[in-house]
Amino acid sequence: MKPFHPTPKTLMGPGPSDVPARILEAMARPTVGHLDPQFITLMDEIKTLLRFAFQTENALTFPVSAPGSAGMETCFVNLIEPGDTVVVCVNGVFGGRMVENVTRAGATAVVISDDWGKPVDPQKVEDTLKAHPEAKILAFVHAETSTGVLSDAKVLCTLAREHDCLTIVDAVTSLGGVPVKVDEWGVDAIYSGTQKCLSVPPGLSPISFGPRAIAAIEARVTPVQSWFLDLSLVMNYWEGPRSNSDSGSAKKSGRSYHHTAPINAMYALHEGLLMLHEEGLEAAFARHQTQHEALREGLEALGFSFLVEPDYRLPQLNTVCIPERVTDEAAIRKNLLEKHDLEIGAGLGALAGKVWRIGLMGASACPANVEQCLGALKQELG
Ligand SMILES: *Cc1c(COP(=O)(O)O)cnc(C)c1O
């Protein structure tokens, strides 16, 4: 066996996205201890940069040391106690996973289903919240990566608040690609991932919890079922000890070991967030939109149609219906990967074999990628 040197690929699937050399170089810097003062400084900067990305002042904002699914689980296990009722909106794969989290945490899931390819319907949410005054939480996916649909997080969070429900929002694919306004929308708990629109390698999950969510955690009568994801324990590492009577104070007396943070992965996240900060949020959103429009024009010229209506179409995840003349879509994806070094995503579930998912996430949202993708598809479709 020899050291592993993969052939570089252009990543235009549903994640991971292309990782800029600058971020890979940051990862190769010397590993230091997880309680080294230099590393504590880095952790503080990561929290500040994540507050910028999430557009929030929430003190409890940091990356969980595991991929997006662990951020999802962190939100559910910390906010749910056995016997709770949680309203979950399902319009694709990831909403389905939320239901799984709810039932495994011992709560009852009230499921609101919308068609794959459609956003969450606020009217159904309002009706369901009215019919279930016992509901404690409303959970939904902001950007459904399985279909390419954006739901209206602002409207859904307002409805939740009117019905005295906390919100859990999946922003794994939205963060960095489209606006995510945690404070303005009144989101209570939110999680994201690094390998989508932040263009950082997979393995970390940024989360943010607001004051109402923290109050719910402090009012728990049962311990969180997961030791690793129990925020009351992890916080001692990311924030230093908090005293219960004065949880808002900045009183810090050193941090204690909880787990060994993935040090070099944190270097990468810091660098990726720095790049987003240098570019600016609005510029990053505009770049995703511009590249999406260029790709859309080219794909439509090649005979593709979009699954999702323009009003709620994600710029960073383009779900296109495969033209009738294509008889073996898997063979084309294989050729793209092997002959053109280009990865695109297959359809999931009921959409398998019917659609492709073409990602323009983070650094992948650039003119060179759009051109490469359109050129390769033209060749392969003949
Ligand atoms: C990718 C994704 C996840 C899961 O993230 P992992 O890092 O793969 O665990 C969750 N929700 C959405 C919407 C995603 O796109």
Which residues are 170's β-sheet partners? 141, 191
Domain that holds residue 80: 21-277
Q: So what's the pLDDT on residue 251? A: 43
69 CA to centre of ligand 1 in angstroms: 6
| Ligand 1 within 6 A of CB of 147 | no
| Ligand 1 within 6 A of CB of 173 | yes
| Ligand 1 within 6 A of CB of 98 | no
Q: Which of 227, 242, 277 is the last residue of a domain?
A: 277
Q: Is residue 1 part of a domain?
A: no
What CATH number does residue 211 fall under? 3.40.640.10
Question: Residues 6 or more apart from 108 whose CB is under 8 A from it?
Answer: 83, 84, 85, 86, 102
Question: Are 215 and 135 contained in the same domain?
Answer: yes
Query: CA torsion angle for 120, 184, 130, 94 (degrees, to 10)?
Result: 30
159 CA to centre of ligand 1 in angstroms: 25
Question: Are 204 and 239 contained in the same domain?
Answer: yes
Which atom of ligand 1 approaches the CA of 193 most closely? 7
Which residues are 62's β-sheet partners? 207
Residue 342's nearest CA partner among 311, 309, 368 is: 368
Q: Which of 262, 277, 292 is the last residue of a domain?
A: 277
Question: Are 213 and 291 contained in the same domain?
Answer: no
Pocket test for ligand 1, best of 11, 73, 91, 94 (most atoms within 8 A of CB): 94
Question: Are 295 and 165 contained in the same domain?
Answer: no
Q: Is residue 3 part of a domain?
A: no
236 CA to centre of ligand 1 in angstroms: 26
Q: How far apart are the first and last CA of the chain?
A: 40
Mean pLDDT by 10 residues, the chain (382 residues): 97 98 98 96 97 98 98 98 98 97 98 98 98 98 98 98 98 98 98 98 98 96 96 87 47 76 98 98 98 98 96 98 93 98 96 97 98 97 86
Beta strand extents in 91-235 (DSSP E only): 108-113, 137-141, 143-144, 149-150, 166-170, 189-191, 205-209
Q: How many CB atoms lie within 10 A of CB 365?
A: 28
Question: Are 50 and 118 contained in the same domain?
Answer: yes
Structure tokens at 341: 């070094």
| Ligand 1 within 6 A of CB of 140 | no
Question: Are 145 and 187 contained in the same domain?
Answer: yes
Q: So what's the pLDDT on residue 186? A: 98
| Ligand 1 within 6 A of CB of 176 | no
Beta strand extents in the chain (DSSP E only): 10-12, 60-64, 85-90, 108-113, 137-141, 143-144, 149-150, 166-170, 189-191, 205-209, 305-306, 317-321, 342-346, 355-359
Pocket test for ligand 1, best of 69, 144, 229 (most atoms within 8 A of CB): 69
Q: How many CB atoms lie within 10 A of CB 277?
A: 14
Which atom of ligand 1 approaches the CA of 70 most closely? 9
Q: Is residue 2 part of a domain?
A: no
What CATH number does residue 292 fall under? 3.90.1150.10
Q: How many domains in the chain?
A: 2
* pLDDT tens for each residue of 274-316: 999 999 999 999 999 999 999 999 999 999 999 999 999 999 9
Question: Are 222 and 297 contained in the same domain?
Answer: no
Which residues are 108's β-sheet partners? 85
